[in-house]
Structure 1
Amino acid sequence: MAQDSAQQAPPTASAAPARALLPFILPAAVVGVAASLVFVGLSTAAEQLQHVLWGPLPDALGVGRYSVLWMFVMLIATGLVVGLVVWKAPGHAGPDPATLSLTAPVLRPVVLPGLVLAAGLMLAGGPSLGPENPVIAVNVGLATWLGMRLMPRTPGTLWPVLAESATIGALFGTPVAAALVISEALAGHPMEGRLWDNLFAPLTAGTCGAVTTTLVAHPTFDLGLPPFGHPHAGDLLAALVIAPAAAVLGMGAVYAFPYVHAAFRTLRHPMLTLPAGGAVLGALGALGGHLTLFKGLSEVGELARHPDGWSAGRFAGMAVVKLAALLVAATCGFRGGRIFPAVFVGTALGLCAHAVVPAVHPAVGVATAVLGMLLAITRQGWVSLFTAAALVASPGVLALLCIASLPAWLLVTGRPQMQLRPDGAAVR
């Protein structure tokens, strides 16, 4: 009987010999360093331009840098200049961002300069999107184009995976995020060999990307919230309530996504859709305040430094406005990603929960709300868990996050995603 069972068991995947993996180290390392430098370069240039546009320039004009007037001027102007790039640049700065996910298509090299310019102007101008999607697309295009020419015998499918892993490692400052995302992607495809053999080259690229970013830019995601010790029953109850509640709010934006996108598409031209989106974003900025502008990472730090600095209603208002701004910016044509704005929404929601019920620890509220929001917006389980855990840097929260992810995932799985097909229908 034991012999029959052994014969019926599926064969174990054979491990690749070391000599088969060694040739991938150098190209993976080069891609990792280059991807990080592209990310840091774009982010630094956008931050310098943002400093000018939202500092010395309005001061010289005698206008308040975060006044309602300047918000409208800057966001409409950003829509105009980005619209001009999308209209005139070769390849129109890439496909409609509403049709893209974190995994980027391989774009032609001629498209990449326009995409870089559109993303940099967007980051500096104030729309509520992050750099991740454009940077991944640029790095995938560059890595594939150069890799296929310099190493034509290497499988062409390798370069996009290396570039995505390297960029994710650079974005989060750690290769762990890249390994989690790639392992999640590999789970849906048949693999040859063992998991760690398949992860070897992407993990190398992610590590080099993360180390380069750490050495050059010194990023950190820890919000510095009050330390959290051992979880108690009340913390478990809070996590089981907050994460699904955040997921439900996020799903509201997901369901509205195709309708808002269709409304902007009726304008039919980027010189109309993007300025119109900028005008709506200006109104939202005036409603929510300057903290609801931009990608949201620095603004999240401002919220975390003053977890008791606003009322529950103010936190809730900022969360709703930021989510609406994310929805508008992602549907009107701005080139950008959705992870960092979603983190701001989740942080504001978590601090709102703490303001309503002071017994809810700020770290628990923030981490579980970010988890639920990211699950709804990205549908990336590992990224959601990792990001939520990295924000609070408290080991005791991790078990709560794993438990809270279960009901939140049940609310989002199988439902429409914040991504559209070319015909405008939501991807499921």
Structure 2
Amino acid sequence: MAQETTQQVPPSAPTAPARALLPFILPAVVVGVAASLVFVGTSAAAERLRRVLWGPLPDALGVGRHSVLWMSAVLVATGIAVGLVVWKVPGHAGPDPATVGLSAPVMAPVVLPGLLPATGLMPAGGPSLGPENPVIAVNVGLAARLGVRLAPRRPDTLWPAPAESATIGALFGTPVAAALVVSEALAGQPMRGRLWDNVFAPLTAGTCGAVTTALVAHPSFDLGLPPMGRPRGADVLAALVVAPAAALLGMCAVHAFPYVHAAFARLRHPMLMLPAGGAVLGAPAALGGPLTLFKGLSEVGVPARDPEGWSAGRFAAMAVVKPAALLVAAACGFRGGRIFPAVFAGTALGLAAHALVPAVHPSLGVATGVLGMLPAITRQAWVSLFTAAVLVASPAVVALLCVASLPAWLLVTGRPQMQLRADGGPVR
């Protein structure tokens, strides 16, 4: 009987010897550092331009920095600038961003010179998108092309995964997010050897990218919310309500995405689509105020630092306006990612729940709001759980997040994603 049982157990995947993994270390380190520097450099250039556009320039013109007139003018001007890049620069800044997800394909070298300035202009001008998708695409393209030239004996498939992992590590300032994304991507693919053997090079690159960013830019995701005590039964109920509510709100934007994209696509030309998108974005900016502009990571810290100083209606308005702004910016052709705007929307919804029902702890509201919003918008479950946990830095929340993730995921899995196929239909 024991022999039969032993024979029925499938053999485990063989572990790679150390000598097979050691050659990956140096390329992964180089890719990790380089990817971080591309991200930090692009972000620094965008931040300098942002300070000019929203500081000395309106002051010199005698216009309020965050008046409706100035916000609308800058958004339209940003659409014109990005439209010129997409129209005139060779490669047209890559494919339609509505058809590209977080994991970018290896794009042709001609695409990269246009994609990088389009990425830098967007966060400076105010559209509600983050830098992650285009920066990942740039780093994957650079790593793939330069890697083949500098190390022609290495396989072509060596470079994209570490470049993507390094960029994610740089974005979040920790390699944990990169490891989770890579592990989730590998879950649906056949693997040779153990999981940790397959993530060794990407994790090395992600670690180097995160460390480089931490040394140069000092990123922080902690919103400074008050820590939670021991969870109570009411906290479980709150988590089971807030996370699905956030997921439903996010899915409203997802279901509207193909229709909004089709409306802008009828304009057919980037010099019409992008300025029109900038003009439409003026309405959410006027309704939600300047905090609902930009990618949202630094802006969300303002209400989070004072959860008692804002009304439930104000928080709810921001929670609705931000996904609407994300929807328009992603549909009209701006190059950018959706993680950070979704974080803002989930945070605002969680704070609205706390303002409406004070018994909902603000840390719990924020964490579960983000946990529900992110899977709906990005369909990245592990990143959603990780981001929700690090935003509040409260260990007591983690167990509640695991509980809340189940109904939230049931609401979004198998349904349309905020990404389109080439024919305009939603990816499922």
Scaled by the length of structure 2, what TM-score is found? 0.99
Name the counterpart of 2:201: 201
Distance apart, 1:5 and its partner CA: 1.7
Q: Deviations over 1:376-410 (max 9, x none)?
A: 00001100000000100111101111110000000
How far off is 1:6 after superposition? 1.1
What is the alpha-carbon distance in structure 1 between the residues aligned to residue 147 and residue 80 of structure 2? 35
Aligned to 2:298, the other structure's residue is in SS state helix
**3-state SS of paired residue (2:91):** helix
Match of 1:227 in 2: 227
Alpha-carbon displacement from aligned partner over 1:173-220 (angstroms, at most 9, x marks no partner): 000000011001111001110111111111100000000000000000
Write out per-residue CA displacement over residues 213-262 of structure 1, whole angstroms, 9 at most, x where no aligned residue.
Answer: 00000000000001112211111110000000000010000000000000
Check if 1:253 corresponds to 2:256.
no
**Using the alignment, how far apart are the partners of 1:408 and 1:298 within structure 2?**
26
Per-residue CA deviation, residues 406-427 of structure 1 (Å, 9 max, x unaligned), is: 0000000000000000000000
In the alignment, which residue of structure 1 is the partner of 2:282?
282
Q: Structure 2 matches for 1:114-133, cutoff 5 A?
A: 114-133=114-133
Structure 1 runs not aligned, ≥5 long:
none
Q: For residue 396 of structure 2, what is the aligned residue in structure 1?
A: 396
Partner letter of residue 159 of structure 1? W
**1:330 aligns to what?**
330
Specify the SS of the correspondent of 1:406.
helix
Q: 2:163 corresponds to which residue?
A: 163
Distance 1:232 1:35 in 2: 43
Aligned to 1:142: 142
Give the superposition deviation at 1:319: 1.0
What does residue range 258-273 of structure 1 map to in structure 2 within 5 Å?
258-273=258-273
Q: Are residue 364 (structure 1) and residue 368 (structure 2) matched?
A: no
Q: How do residues 10-409 of structure 1 correspond to structure 2 at under 5 angstroms?
A: 10-409=10-409
Distance 2:186 2:294 in 1: 33
Instruction: Give the letter for the 1:195 counterpart.
Output: L
Tell me, in whole angstroms, the C-alpha distance in 2 between the residues paired with 1:296 and 1:219: 14
Letter in 2 for 1:256: A
1:9 CA displacement: 1.4
| Number of residue equivalences | 428
- How many Å separate the matches in 2 of 1:108 and 1:192? 28
Q: Measure, in 1, the Cα distance between the counterparts of 2:91 and 2:110.
A: 7
Residues 126-166 of structure 1 show CA distances to partners (whole Å, capped at 9, x for unaligned) of 00000000110000000000111111221211211010000
Tell me by how many angstroms 1:7 deviates. 1.1
Name the CA distance, whole Å, in 2 between partners of 1:418 and 1:158: 29
SS in 2 for 1:382: helix
CA distance in 2, matches of 1:248, 1:254: 10
Identity in percent:
81
Deviation, structure 1 residue 287: 1.1
Gaps of 5+ in 2: none
Alignment partner of 2:300: what SS? helix
State the secondary structure of the residue aligned to 1:335: coil
Distance 2:39 2:344 in 1: 21
Counterpart residue identity of residue 320, structure 2: V
Task: Measure how far apart 1:108 and its partner are.
Answer: 1.5
Matches within 5 A, 1:411-426: 411-426=411-426
Paired with 2:194 and 2:303, the residues of 1 have a C-alpha distance of: 43
String of CA shifts for 1:353-396, please: whole Å, max 9, x gaps: 00000010000000000000001000011000000001001111
User: What is the CA-CA distance between 1:50 and the residue it aligns to?
Assistant: 0.2
**Partner Cα distance (2:324, 2:85) in 1:** 24
Q: State the AA in 2 paired with 1:177.
A: A
Two-structure CA RMSD over aligned residues (Å): 0.6
Matches of 1:76 and 1:35 in 2, distance apart? 31
User: Aligned partners of 2:313, 2:421: CA distance in 1, in Å?
Assistant: 36
Deviations 1:51-104 (A, max 9, x none): 000000000000000001101110000000100100011110011000011000
Distance 1:111 1:195 in 2: 33
Cα distance, 1:8 vs structure 2: 1.9
Counterpart Cα distance in 1 of 2:39 and 2:7? 51
Secondary structure of 1:203's aligned partner: helix
Mapped to 1, the partners of 2:223 and 2:287 lie a distance apart of: 25
- In structure 1, how many angstroms separate the alpha carbons of the residues matched to 2:352 and 2:102? 29
- 2:339 is matched by which residue type in structure 1? I
Q: Distance in 1 between matches of 2:256 and 2:2?
A: 56
Q: Which amino acid aligns with 1:121?
A: L
